[in-house]
């Protein structure tokens, strides 16, 4: 299984407090029709932190069933509690996801030895391909390239990294240390094209929820050495990239998808609907980008 190209960090639609399966299936189908290269259920953008384990297993199963092997599925399955993370990885494995996206333990701030032990424990109990998720803005800890190399050496299941530091220098160093066979995916929509230029392999994207064809098209153009086309698409997406983060993710992207008629605008606490001033700002940008 190749984990290359544009992967959408899927929003999870809710209706009357429950997962809206019909809207979710339709949304996944639209993503595939638009040419997305892969999907990621139950990540940060999917409000996984508010899903019960039963719901998380349900969402991953729905996604895998709807995809039917047409594109890879990387299921979010991390926790700062190693026992809980093992349970979540097992859910992903049982649902037949192609890989698990494993956020490095947040709040606890484990040492490099602790990180190695965490991933060893996951692999021992539920072995499958792992994409390590380094997102210091969420975890409070930046896992440096040399530590990622230690983890990958000790745990062969760790085949890639979602690099969400926003630091091109660090991302390039990771590619340098790990070599081209180790998958490096941008975790920030602003850094996708620069990271591709440095030797990266694609992205796990928020923006591709609303612009899947353009995000996958940009990566495809770059891979075909059509840099002019890749640059043009990158610049076209920049206003939407910014709009997706005018409030905490996934508030803007789910609001945008609601305005586009893809799903309802329902969130789970502690997330709440977008502030009115930001909503008007979002509408302006979506209209300018011909999304609504």
> In degrees to the nearest 10, what's the CA dihedral of 35, 40, 46, 49?
-170
The model's pLDDT over 109-148, given as tens digits with 9 standing for 90+, comes to 999 999 999 999 999 999 999 999 999 999 999 999 999 9
Mean pLDDT of the chain: 97
The answer on whether 204 is annotated among ligand-binding residues is: yes
Predicted pLDDT of residue 137:
93
pLDDT at 287 exceeding the cut of 90: yes
- CATH number where 176 lies: 3.20.20.70
Interval 43-54 mean pLDDT: 96
| Across 92-99, average pLDDT | 97
Q: Is residue 248 part of a domain?
A: no
Buried b (16+ CB within 10 A) or exposed e, 185-218: bbbbbbbbbebbebebbbbbbbbbbbbbebbbbb
Residue 27 belongs to some domain of the structure: yes
Confirm whether 268 is domain-assigned.
no
Is 281 part of any domain?
no
Q: Is residue 86 assigned to a domain? A: yes
- Let me know: does 10 contact 40? Beta carbons within 8 Å: yes
**pLDDT for 3-26, tens place per residue?**
999 999 999 999 999 999 999 999
| Global pTM value | 0.96
- Residues with a catalytic annotation lie at 133, 162
Q: For residue 2, what pLDDT is reported?
A: 83
Mean pLDDT of 281-291: 98
Q: What is the mean pLDDT of residues 177-201?
A: 97
- Could you tell me if residue 147 is inside a domain? yes
Strands 99-103 vs 130-134: parallel, antiparallel or unpaired: parallel
pLDDT in tens, 139-187: 999 999 999 999 999 999 999 999 999 999 999 999 999 998 999 999 9
Convert the pLDDT of each residue in 210-253 to its tens digit: 999 999 999 999 999 999 999 999 999 999 999 999 999 999 99
The pLDDT tens digits of the residues spanning 204-216 come to 999 999 999 999 9
CA 191 to CA 64: how far, in whole Å?
28
Domain that holds residue 214: 5-226
Instruction: Classify residue 61: in a domain, yes or no.
Output: yes
Q: Distance (Å, rounded) from C-alpha 112 to C-alpha 151? A: 8
Residue in 206, 281, 216 with CA at minimum distance from that of residue 47: 206
Neighbours of 219 (CB within 10 A): 26
Domains held by the chain: number: 1
Tell whether the model's pLDDT for residue 1 goes beyond 90.
Answer: no
Bridge partners for 185 per DSSP = 162, 202
Is 82 known to sit in a ligand binding site? no
């Amino acid at each position: 299984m190749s984990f290359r190209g544009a992967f959408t960090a899927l929003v999870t639609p809710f209706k009357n407090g429950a997962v809206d399966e019909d809207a979710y299936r339709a949304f996944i189908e639209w993503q595939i029709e638009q040419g997305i290269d892969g999907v990621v259920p139950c990540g940060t953008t999917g409000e996984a932190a508010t899903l019960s384990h039963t719901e998380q297993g349900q969402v991953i199963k729905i996604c895998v069933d709807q995809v039917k092997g047409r594109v890879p599925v990387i299921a979010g399955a991390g926790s700062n509690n190693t026992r809980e993370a093992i349970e979540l990885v097992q859910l992903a494995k049982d649902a037949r996801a192609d890989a698990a996206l494993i956020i490095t333990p947040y709040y606890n701030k484990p040492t490099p030895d602790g990180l190695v032990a965490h991933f060893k424990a996951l692999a021992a109990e539920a072995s499958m391909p792992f994409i390590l998720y380094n997102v210091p803005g969420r975890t409070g800890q930046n896992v440096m390239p040399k530590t990622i190399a230690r983890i990958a050496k000790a745990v062969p299941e760790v085949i890639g990294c979602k690099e969400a530091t926003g630091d091109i220098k660090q991302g390039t160093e990771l590619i340098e240390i790990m070599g081209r066979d180790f998958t490096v995916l941008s975790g920030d929509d602003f850094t996708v094209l620069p990271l591709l230029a440095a030797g990266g392999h694609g992205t796990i994207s928020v923006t591709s929820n609303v612009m899947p064809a353009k995000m996958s098209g940009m990566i495809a153009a770059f891979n075909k050495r059509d840099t002019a086309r890749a640059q043009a698409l990158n610049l076209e997406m920049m206003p939407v990239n910014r709009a997706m983060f005018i409030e905490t993710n996934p508030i803007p992207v789910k609001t945008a998808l609601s305005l586009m008629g893809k799903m309802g605008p329902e969130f789970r606490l502690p997330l709440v609907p977008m502030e009115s001033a930001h909503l008007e700002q979002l509408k302006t940008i979506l209209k300018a980008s011909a999304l609504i």
